[in-house]
Structure 1
Amino acid sequence: MWSEEKRIRGIFTGMSAGYIALGLVLMLWPQGAMNVICGVLGAAAVVLGVYKLFRYFTAQGVEVLFVNMSAGVVLLLVGLVLLIRPELLLGLLPILLGLLVVIDGTARVHTALELRRVGYGAWGLELAFSALSVLLGIMLIANPMFSLNLATAFIGAVLCVDGVINLWDIFYVSRQIRNLRR
């Protein structure tokens, strides 16, 4: 059976590989990837919206919740907008992904400071990588529309860099922490 540490490391490895894969797809096929993402998100929102409305109109007793109708209508409308006018999401995507990268980098600042506290010599490298992630995320947030294809390719590059940094964290830093425990 896997220990909790191995399970968490596996989750973060998979997440990092996903960042890198998504980043490569966005870099290599920016416009097509964005259209597919909008189509998939739009279709999923429509299906979920129809399901919520169905649940509202067929439920009885305690199951009749106004939230099902409200959520159903909102999801249905959002899904239709994504399918009909995907460019609306395309303007928000760099901002949302930028926030994700800033949050991820900020969390790694904490890791760097903890490594410093326990006496790990190369904690500064971890801090530099964290700062790079935060800076790249801020760049996405500050200027999200500097050409959609270029922005999409840039988002892909940022995700690849962040994924590689996460993999470095997972393998190298966790090995150093194990060595410090001994």
Structure 2
Amino acid sequence: MLKNWKVQEIGGAVALLICGLVLLLMPELTLVTIANVIGILVIIIGAFFLIGYFLRKELAAGNNDLIKGLVIVCIGIFICVKSELVVSVLPVVLGIGVVLSGILKLQHAFDLKRMGFDTWVRIGLTSAVNIFIGLIVILNPFSTVAWLMRLVGIGFLFSGVTDLITTIYVSKKASAYYVDGKAEETDEEIK
């Protein structure tokens, strides 16, 4: 039982290490691959609508499966063909949110200045940082997402390494525990 646990844990840690390395070293390829997989899934969903339409023998008034299927397949093809554009949309939206948050903070800073508080400068500086970060995300969204993927990759690598170390350590301690006969003593104490 301990051996099976150790093999499963080490397998999981190695999988995390591999995923982490791929995300760290090839974030753009990973993002494009994810977008392509999503595009293919969307195409398959559209194909089900089309197949359903053509396999139906009776007419169904108001059934738009042909149009739905064609539109969904076209969206899937667009996602596959323009995967970089699709991947870059989310960071742009988030970047706009960060800029708007910075502008709101800037308004608060000016309000504090009007009220005579010295803290307006700190709030103003944080708003400037907010706006700057938001603009970077908006102007270079694909790179931003790539860095996010690298960060996730680093997290996976860390998790994989710590999983390996923990598994080896716990496995050694558990083996020593069972070899020393402590487990039998504990079982006898429970009885």
Q: What TM-score does the superposition give when structure 1 sets the normalisation length?
A: 0.47
Larger Rg: 2
